[in-house]
Chains A and B, each alone.
Chain A
Amino acid sequence: MFKDIFQKKRKYATIPSERAIPGERQEAVERPKREIPEGLMNKCSKCGTIQYSKELEKNLKVCPACGYHMRLNAMERIAMVLDEEGFVEHDADMVSVDPLGFPGYSSKLEQQRLKSGLKEAVITGEGTIEGLPVVVAVMSFDFFTGSMGSVVGEKITRAVEHAIEKKLPLIIFSTSGGARMQESILSLMQMAKTSAALARLDEQGGLYISVITDPTTGGVSASFASLGDIIIAEPGAVFGFAGRIVIEQTIRQKLPDDFQTAEFNLQHGQLDMVVHRKELRATLGKLLDMHSEKGGV
């Protein structure tokens, strides 16, 4: 009884913070951290340079000091690349279920929605780039590390099918940690599903441009992200199948710093080009234009 009174253990009030979400350690480390005062300043997670957020926005979230391309969520990406008017989102209300009854999955989904303000890791729809119509799918690393479960697979597949139906070119902006293991085999099968849809687009002669953004790994890199007629990556974007740590454990060697970066992949023949964010919209516009003679398809 007295022991309880004299207990040394102190009780602290806990303040919920973005970084305190369990199971999100990896992301918390990598995400650009906001310093006080909230929102006004921003610190580059690569070189540590502090700058006004407004300036950074103007610079398309590319660090002016080191050129690091910070991660964008789907809405930011759409605003940056597509024409201002006319984006129509598809399947906006499609959400995940917990098909396997996986421990903790339902509550984790809820957390991810609160944290990111998104319903799932991909937004799909139709819009224009420099006036040229295009079907787009844009992933967000913000939501569940961009992992692919049934919803991501289904939305991407529908986007591909929409491009086939409307005979429109397709652009997918990928970023993902891989398959969503809470949906186990169902998420693995999304790789086959999305790729099979792309096979149909391919046979129809449709254009598919894959844009790799940081990071694109695992089941997404080993399916639709690697199947573009043209594959573009943002500078420094990590693009590969297996994670660096797993590989280092396998080969028992330290890997070079640039391993799996866009530049590394370009050198090894896995990409068509590395394009700075400032040039991305113009590059995509040019490529769409060069394929528009046949009406995109």
Chain B
Amino acid sequence: MAGSLPYEAPLIEMRKKIEELVQFGQEKGIDFTEEIARLEERYHRLEEEIYTSITPAQKMHLARHQQRPTALDLIQLIFTDFTELHGDRMFGDDLAVVGGLAKLNGQTVTVLGQQRGKDTKDNIARFFGSAHPEGFRKGLRLMKQADKFGRPIITFVDTKGAYPGNTAEERGQSEAIARNLLEMAKLSVPVIVVVIGEGGSGGALAMAVGNRVLMLEHAIYSAISPNGAASILWKDASKADQAAEAMKITAKDLLEMEVIEEIIPEPRGGAHQDYDTAATAISEALVRHLDEMKGWSAEQLKQDRYEKFRKIGSVTFEAPASAVEPTKEREPAGEVEANSEAESVQVEASEQPLEAEPVKNLSGNAE
């Protein structure tokens, strides 16, 4: 199994044993058919066991798998007539972002992707999929073009994050990301986002303000890479696995938090095992979601997108100041007490639907 992941080791071992047995049987002319069948069955059971219990940390490695299909791989498989368009018309052509026109099920769409390299040379040319401002601005230019011609936008998110370099800063990395967030909110066409690998931080979000945000089963999406979080929180980047567990980065977690709308299933073992199956599943989801939004007015699409993001976040309201006084006077030494206090806040929060409060107050503001 090429490019196997550490948790797949037992499978590889067993596969080797089966092959050895087959070979041994052939050499010695002994019939092992029954034994082999039994082993194959055990192999499938083990496979089922391993692949249905992939941990968040394992998903992080899976999402970054070198052979995982990139945006361009999927674009070629999902769409027809892909016509790549280049440049931001201001500075250059950032190859970490690809985009252009394509047909999905006969309909012309604008498609964008964050593009990792397929090998070292390609990775260097594409800055490992980490965009500079010109990449985000190229994306925005193509999105505005789609808006003008009234065609849907589909973006594939796959980046560790925006490029952290001095050149990017000088050209306004912050502004480029922020501008995309603002302008994407204004788009009057359907926007569907698919997180296909790693959705890292603001660099991912800059192309992910969609009416629908979908994630591949083993993709991850977070505010900061688990490696970054580990080095800040515990001053130890090697604790990335631990951070991955704590940060709730999997598609399942995000669906539960209502940050995404749908999880697109991957072929057994991950999308890298079978590109075609992965592409078919994505294609089916894209067509279905586009169908659902068919006939929506520009206002409806904008309102829908606004509400999607407006409701995200969980906050609570504290009792008036007098009731809080004792908390402030508490000695810092009361670590245990501090925790129990915090827990009571959490309970308070979960009693009311987390999203209901802001929405309710939003309409309150709108008097």
Report if A and B associate in a common complex: yes
Contact A95 B313 (CB under 8 A): no
Known: A98-B342, A241-B174. A200 touches B328 (CB 8 A): no
Contact B174 A226 (CB under 8 A): yes
What distance in Å separates the Cβ of B316 from its nearest Cβ neighbour in chain A? 5
What distance in Å separates the Cβ of B64 from its nearest Cβ neighbour in chain A? 18
Contact B315 A195 (CB under 8 A): no
Contact B166 A154 (CB under 8 A): no
Question: What are 11 inter-chain pairs, A to B, with CB distance below 8 A?
Answer: A93-B318, A95-B316, A95-B345, A179-B202, A185-B257, A193-B310, A196-B305, A199-B183, A221-B178, A225-B174, A239-B174
Q: Among the listed B172, B253, B316, B338, which residue makes an inter-chain contact with A107, where contact means beta carbons less than 8 Å apart?
A: B338
The total of interchain contacts (Cβ-Cβ below 8 angstroms) comes to 242
Q: Given the complex, which residues of A lie within 8 Å of B177, measured CB to CB? A: 191, 222-223, 226, 241
Interface hits, B151-170 → A, CB 8 Å: 162-166, 168-170
Q: How far is the CA of A96 from the CA of B338 in the complex (A)?
A: 15
Q: What mask results when residues 88 to 117 of chain A are scored 1 for a CB within 8 Å of chain B, else 0?
A: 000001111111111100110111011001
B15 within 8 A of A: no
A-B complex: 10 closest residue pairs judged by Cβ atoms: A106-B342, A150-B313, A242-B164, A195-B181, A196-B185, A226-B178, A188-B223, A97-B349, A199-B185, A222-B177
Contact B354 A193 (CB under 8 A): no
A255 within 8 A of B: yes
What distance in Å separates the Cβ of A270 from its nearest Cβ neighbour in chain B? 5
Q: How far is the CA of A225 from the CA of B233 in the complex (A)?
A: 25
Q: Given the complex, which residues of A lie within 8 Å of B320, measured CB to CB? A: 93
Q: Which of B248, B253, B314, B354 has the most A CB atoms < 10 Å from its CB?
A: B314
Contact B317 A270 (CB under 8 A): no
Q: Which of A23, A102, A149, A193 has the most B CB atoms < 10 Å from its CB?
A: A193
Interface 9-residue window, one of B40-48, B97-105, B286-294, B358-366: B358-366
A127 within 8 A of B: no
Interface 9-residue window, one of A43-51, A77-85, A245-253: A245-253
Q: Among the listed A165, A180, A188, A200, which residue makes an inter-chain contact with B201, where contact means beta carbons less than 8 Å apart?
A: A188
Q: What mask results when residues 222 to 259 of chain A are scored 1 for a CB within 8 Å of chain B, else 0?
A: 11111100000000000111110011001101010001
Q: How far is the CA of A135 from the CA of B160 in the complex (A)?
A: 36
Contact A240 B339 (CB under 8 A): no
Q: Among the listed B173, B310, B365, which residue makes an inter-chain contact with A242, where contact means beta carbons less than 8 Å apart?
A: B173
A189 within 8 A of B: yes
Known: A97-B315, A111-B332, A240-B169. A192 touches B342 (CB 8 A): no
A37 within 8 A of B: no
